[in-house]
Amino acid sequence: MLNPQSPMPLYHQLADILLAGIRSGDYPPDSRIPSEHALAASYGIGRPTVRQAIDLLVRKHILVRKRGSGTYVLTRQKEIDLFSLAGTTSAFHREGTSVTSLILQNIRLTAIGSNSENPFSGQSAYFLSRLTRVEAAPVLIEDIYLHAGIFAGIDAIDLEGRSLSQIVDERYFMRPTGGRQTFRIGYVEGNKAADLAVSTTTPILIVRRFLHFPQAENAIYSELYCRTDQFVFSQTIGGMTDD
């Protein structure tokens, strides 16, 4: 029950009670919680206080209001670590998510035009574009560039449905030693918009990934175009230590 003598505001106490019910399974995902009127009557408080509690959980993406229907428990979105050195496919598999990969452009050696962000700008590199789907729904596109000298002959390997990081490990005996990523929100058009099944006004998370290997820095460069309406894309940050 609520404790009016507690220094914690009543709306915060109610939010904690609702959250405990969600975590215990009393309110499973996609279920509707009691109405504001019912909660106010149950806890002997005013509806404005109930509304504050619900607002707090809505802001935390735990509840969602549906006009004319009520307030529902959101289904937890799975988080995909977008900076997995083991590869994007492996990141999905670690979350227990089955994915399919479709090659949009077969790997080929190509001349890279002028692009200040691409480490292969003005050079030749192997290029591959692929689409990742989850339960037939498009999730992300990866445009991947590989060092022409280090990965010589990779265009002769069938990459359909295979993990690129596994091929790099098993066929080239290489594993990344580190890397970096940049993030921004942007938009896609043309074939990319069609392949992702989004409009040209849909915000997309665009990630540029640089992977370093003992043989060369930036030996693999990727541009990822991610829909964020189905998955939360995250990046794990390590702890700080003194030098």
**Residue 160 confidence (pLDDT):** 83
Mean pLDDT of 49-58: 94
CATH number of 79-234: 3.40.1410.10
How confident is the model over 7-20, as pLDDT tens digits? 889 999 999 999 88
| pLDDT confidence band for 85 (50 / 70 / 90) | very low
Cα separation, 216 vs 174, whole angstroms: 11
pLDDT higher for 219 or 233? Answer: 219
The pLDDT score that the predictor gives to residue 94 is 55
pLDDT for the residue numbered 61: 77
pLDDT of 241 higher than 70: no
The confidence score (pLDDT) of residue 240 equals 43
- For the stretch 15-35, pLDDT in tens is 999 988 988 889 998 899 999
Question: Checking phi first, is residue 167 left (phi over 0); if not, alpha (psi -120 to 50) or beta?
Answer: alpha
Which distant-in-sequence residues (6+ apart) come within 8 Å of 136 by Cβ? 100
Which pLDDT band holds residue 164 (cuts at 50, 70, 90)? Answer: confident
- pTM of the predicted model, to two decimals? 0.64
For the beta carbon of residue 91, count every other beta carbon within 10 angstroms.
20
Supply 138's token pair.
Answer: 């498009």
The pLDDT assigned to 234 comes to 61
pLDDT digits (tens, 9 = 90+) for 101-129: 899 999 999 999 999 999 999 999 999 99
Instruction: Provide the token pair at 107.
Output: 């790997």
SS3 content of the chain, % helix, strand, coil (to 5): 25, 35, 40
Fold for the domain defined by 10-73: Arc Repressor Mutant, subunit A (1.10.10)
Q: Provide mean pLDDT across the span 170-186.
A: 89
| Cα dist from 57 to 22, 39, 44, 73, whole Å | 11, 15, 20, 9
Position 239 confidence tier, pLDDT thresholds 50, 70, 90: very low
Instruction: Please state the domain extents for the chain.
Output: 10-73, 79-234
* pLDDT at site 170: 84
